[in-house]
Amino acid sequence: MIFKIFLKRLFPRSFDNDIYSLPPKDLIIRKSSNHAGFKFGLTLLLIIFLFAIFGPIILDVSPYEQDLTKRLLPPVWKDGGSWEYIFGTDGNGRDYFARILYGTRISLTIGFGAACVGMIIGVTLGVCAGYFGGWVDQIVSYLLTCQLALPGLLLAMTIVFLIGPSITVVIFVIGATHWAFFLVVSRSATQRIKNLDYVTAANAIGASKFQIITRDIIPNTVSQIIVIFTLEVGIAILNEASLSFLGVGIQPPTPSWGLLIAEGKEAIFFQPWLIILPGIALFILVVSINMMGDGLRDITDPNSKVSDK
Amino acid sequence: MNELLKIDNLNISFQSSGSDLKTLKDFSINLKERESLGIVGESGSGKTLSMLALTRLLPKQARITSGSIIFRNKILNNLLNKNFYKEISGNKISMIFQEPMTALNPVHTIGKQLLDTYLYHNDVSFEKGVLRALEILDAVQLSKNKQRMEQYPHQLSGGQRQRVMIALALINNPDLLIADEPTTALDVTVQKEIIQLISKLRETIGMALIFISHDLGVVSQISDNIIVMKDGEIVEKGSTSKVLNKPEHIYTQKLLNCLHKLENDQKKEKLKNSPIISARDISKVYKLPAKIFKKPEIIHAVKNVSFDVKTGETLAIVGESGSGKSTVAKIINGLIVKDNGEVKIKGQDVEDISLSRRAKLIQPVFQDPYSTLNPIHTIGYIISRPLVINDNLSNHNIKTKVIEILELVGLSEEYYNRFPNQLSGGQRQRVAIARAIILKPQILICDEPTSALDVTIQSQILDLLNDLKQKLKITIILISHDISVVKYFSDRIIVMYNGQIVETGNSEDIINNPKETYTKKLMSSVFSLKQKNQILRDNFT
């Protein structure tokens, strides 16, 4: 409701009564104001982004500063917890809330970065394979088979181990091992679309292959790619967590959620919040991204009807 | 004669997001034993819905709000589902659907599907069931009926499948057969055979028939009485001759006008211009992907086709589906690379012409109004795109040109920012035509431009094409399976069958004195309002 009022203020034209004469942009705004899942996911994700950007600035507590006299303090809702350390402290006496906040930045950067890398590789290969067919398709299919046959995590571990860990390396390695979904989806969508009459018509009006791919084919695969993209953001975030947990991802003392879980695993029976809290953070972030992705698919699908509820 | 079926004030509404949408309003019919009733209407007029209500096959969102259905003095509304399916459905009332491709279960043999239906309703031995199944397959004139029992649906052609569907519907000797557009998905020549078959079986079995179709010509051949529906209401009912000769409602008159217009000949001038397109010996072969230990299968889509198109004429290419007519069109347009032969437009090989010059010479219009426009672009963008690609014009000039063209095809300026999904089928087809003519091409290739549209809209689109032809002096190549459209529109006809040209000539000659046997068969399959009762006559000779 608040979301809708907010949107009505910003884009009054989108809420004209005659929905059929709306320009494209307003139509999407109008549709998004009616999609509960999208609104929820987007709001949650925006809050997480705000936390990630402004949280560390406002809080002004270093996630690296150690105080060994205050080791393993419980969070505020437990006996012995205090408001000074809301989420308690870890084994080295560092503020756990500050560490999780900093970890949000890392997770978001790696999640979106790696999914972008994967999307660029996968969609380029997929669209080319689908549109040109023939030997291009055979080569791409061979690449795909190789990619699917390789154990992704193991490969990522090896590469990171060889090059040496840093955030950029982790982003590219995760991206380079996660393009199979993008390829499969964009290839089959392209194969379907390229036989439709509007592509033939574009050919007849003299559009070049590049124009057909960028104007007719890719825009029509966007709604499917977005869903894969959000799925992959979630997977990449979890992957980073696994890599960090195994010690080849983000290196300590940088606070990444996977690393926090790895560090907390020794205390699992006595201080379980050390694992549960970053786990919950991971869960909320991935759920909000997936909900927003599903919503985006419904909104950008030109065949879905505008409805007012 | 006794009354068989009586439907009184049937109302059906669809529930969608809180509001009820009335889709069938006060539908009442009376049907006597052995009577045949035709229901005519456009898509969405509720003609199928009324019959689905009778057979309890309504979609979940639909609800019968009021009205009664009485079959043989028995009120069907209150009958339990269990008893309804055991006693009435498939036994006393059976139904044939439009798509023979999807109505049969692909994993069971024809024999099993026939036996299932028979043994469910009759307490007889398996052997007797087999005998009955063979008998009914014989009755629907399916040859080699013993072999057919062992076959699966995919081994049969469309016409054969529809025969199996009819056999399935008739195996229990129903009192009422409902045929919902049984011939729409079939080729014209097969269409006639199926209608003759239904008509003959009705006589021999002595059942009543409800025949649903959008085609008044077909319905008038087979039914005693006709109901015309529009927007969920019956607008006209009466005997066939009364509806055809003295229609009362405006909509029926409009429908008949569309048909009559197509039947009357236009005055055509004989053209003696030079050929603008000359096609020589064009061939196209499709290879199916090779399987292990098997040679790749080769399909000859087009075999050695040669013809000329003269400047300013309208040439029609006629044939059944699979005859290669669309492939020929795409080859001429340069959209498919041919294997052999040459196509010259104004003396230049079509494959050597630059994209932009070709776009200004020749443009296509396609059949399916739903896939012809890119759903993510606005109408304005779609129509302006040929100009953006091929001409250097300012944005303002482009917009004024697009609006000019929109008005020329009968759409107003307000459509500029709309999306294809906000338009009806007829409007989409107008946009597709606008896109094709904005570059002022000299040749327009129309591939079944009207066959996916309702009858009244079909005639509007044909009028528009005719209008444009006169205004812009375009050469038109029309591809169609519908002889009445071709007759109305074309100067010359090419008849194609199995990828080859069977016959060529002026349209009057071909339609009135066809020479080849295939052309004769094709021409005789046209249902017109004039040759009424021809089917019955055919049956007895």
What single DSSP character describes residue B85?
Answer: I
pLDDT value at position A23?
59
Q: A204 vs B333: CB contact, 8 Å cut-off?
A: yes
pLDDT value at position B241? 84
Helix, strand, or coil here: B191?
Answer: helix
Compute the distance between CA of residue A51 and CA of residue A57 in angstroms, rounded to an integer: 10
> SS3 for B243-291, per residue?
HHHCCCCHHHHHHHHHHHHHHCCCCCCCCCCCEEEEEEEEEEEEECCCC
Task: Tell if the CB–CB gap between B359 and A309 is shorter than 8 Å.
Answer: no
Q: How confident is the model at residue A12, as a pLDDT?
A: 67
Residue A202 vs residue A302, higher pLDDT = A202
Question: What residues of B are in contact with residue A206 (Cβ under 8 Å)?
Answer: 355-356, 358-359, 386, 389-390
B86: DSSP letter? I
ipTM over 0.90: no
What are A223-266's pLDDT values in tens digits?
Answer: 888 888 988 888 888 888 888 888 887 887 788 888 888 888 88
Rounded Cα–Cα distance for residues B22 and B12 (Å): 6
Chain B residues touching A24 at Cβ < 8 A: 378, 417, 419
Average pLDDT over residues B470-486: 84
Q: Does the distance separating the beta carbons of B373 and A20 come in below 8 Å?
A: no
From CA A285, how far away is CA A44, in angstroms rounded?
8
pLDDT reading at B478 higher than 70: yes
pTM of the model: 0.77
Q: What confidence tier does B291 reach under pLDDT thresholds 50, 70, 90?
A: low
Interface with chain A: mutation pick from B331, B337, B374, highest number of A CBs within 10 Å? B374
CA distance B488 to B478: 11
Nearest chain B residue to A23, by CA? B417
Six token digits for residue B448: 């079944």
User: Do the chains contact at B355 and A303, CB–CB below 8 Å?
Assistant: no
Q: What pLDDT band is residue B272 in, cutting at 50, 70 and 90?
A: low
Mutate to test the interface with A, among B357, B361, B422, B442 (most CBs of A within 10 A): B422
| Average pLDDT, integer, range B417-433 | 83
Inform me whether the pLDDT recorded for A282 exceeds 90.
no
B406/B382 Cα distance (integer angstroms)? 11
Find the radius of gyration of the CA atoms of chain A.
Answer: 23
State mean pLDDT over A156-179.
Answer: 87
Peptide bond into A253 cis (omega under 30): yes
Lowest mean pLDDT among A127-141, A276-290, B93-107, B280-294: B280-294
Buried b (16+ CB within 10 A) or exposed e, A130-164: bbeeeeebeebeebbeebeeeebeeebbebbeeee
Confidence check: pLDDT of A187 > 90? yes
Q: Which amino acid is at B450?
A: T
User: Residue range B337-365: average pLDDT?
Assistant: 85
Question: Which of A21, A206, A309 faces B355 most closely, judged by CB atoms?
Answer: A206
pLDDT digits (tens, 9 = 90+) for A48-65: 989 888 887 887 777 777
Q: Are strands B62-71 and B3-16 parallel, antiparallel or unpaired?
A: antiparallel
B376 touches chain A (CB under 8 A): yes
Helix (H, G, I), strand (E, B) or coil at B518: helix
What distance in Å separates the CA atoms of residue B373 and residue B359, rounded to the nearest whole number? 17
pLDDT on residue B536: 46
**What does the pLDDT look like over A126-155, one tens digit per residue?**
999 999 988 899 999 999 999 889 887 888
First to last CA, chain B: 28
- What is the arithmetic mean of pLDDT over B526-539? 52
Supply the mean pLDDT for chain A.
83
Q: Compute the 3-state secondary structure of chain A and give helix, strand, coil in percent, each to the nearest 5.
A: 75, 0, 25
**Residue B108 exposure: Cα atoms within 13 Å on the Cβ side:** 13
Contact A114, A181 (CB under 8 A): no
Q: What is the mean pLDDT of residues B389-411?
A: 86
How many angstroms separate the Cα of A157 from the Cα of each of A111, A143, A166, B401? 17, 20, 13, 60
For the stretch B308-339, pLDDT in tens is 888 888 888 988 877 888 888 888 888 888 88
pLDDT band at B264; cut points 50, 70, 90: low
Q: How, if at all, do strands B443-447 and B475-480 pair? A: parallel
Is the minimum CB–CB distance between B417 and chain A shorter than 8 Å?
yes
Nearest of B281, B268, B335, B340 to residue B308 by alpha carbon = B281
With tokens 């091992």, the residue in question is A177
Tell me the C-alpha distance between A141 and A130, whole Å: 10
Given B17, B378, B422, which is nearest A309 (Cβ)? B17
Angle at the Cα of A175 from the Cα atoms of A173 and A176, rounded to 5 degrees: 65
pLDDT in tens, B72-130: 888 888 888 888 888 888 788 888 887 777 788 888 888 898 898 888 888 888 889 89
- Give residue B253's region: left, alpha or beta (phi > 0; psi -120 to 50): alpha
Interface check for B73 against chain A (CB to CB < 8 A): the answer is: no
Looking at chain B, which residue has its C-alpha nearest residue A300?
Answer: B376
Look at A30 and A290; give whichever has higher pLDDT.
A290
Query: What's the pLDDT at B19?
Result: 59
User: Element (H or E) spanning B285, and its range?
Assistant: strand B275-287
- Contact (CB<8Å) B385/A202: yes
Q: Tell me what pLDDT residue B292 has.
A: 66
Strand partners, B210: B37, B178
Across B361-431, the runs of DSSP E, i.e. the strands, are: 362-365
Alpha-carbon separation of residue B143 from A16, A252, B136, B138, B146 (angstroms) = 63, 80, 11, 7, 9
The residue type found at B203 is E
DSSP character for B58?
-
Q: For all residues of chain B together, what is the average pLDDT?
A: 83
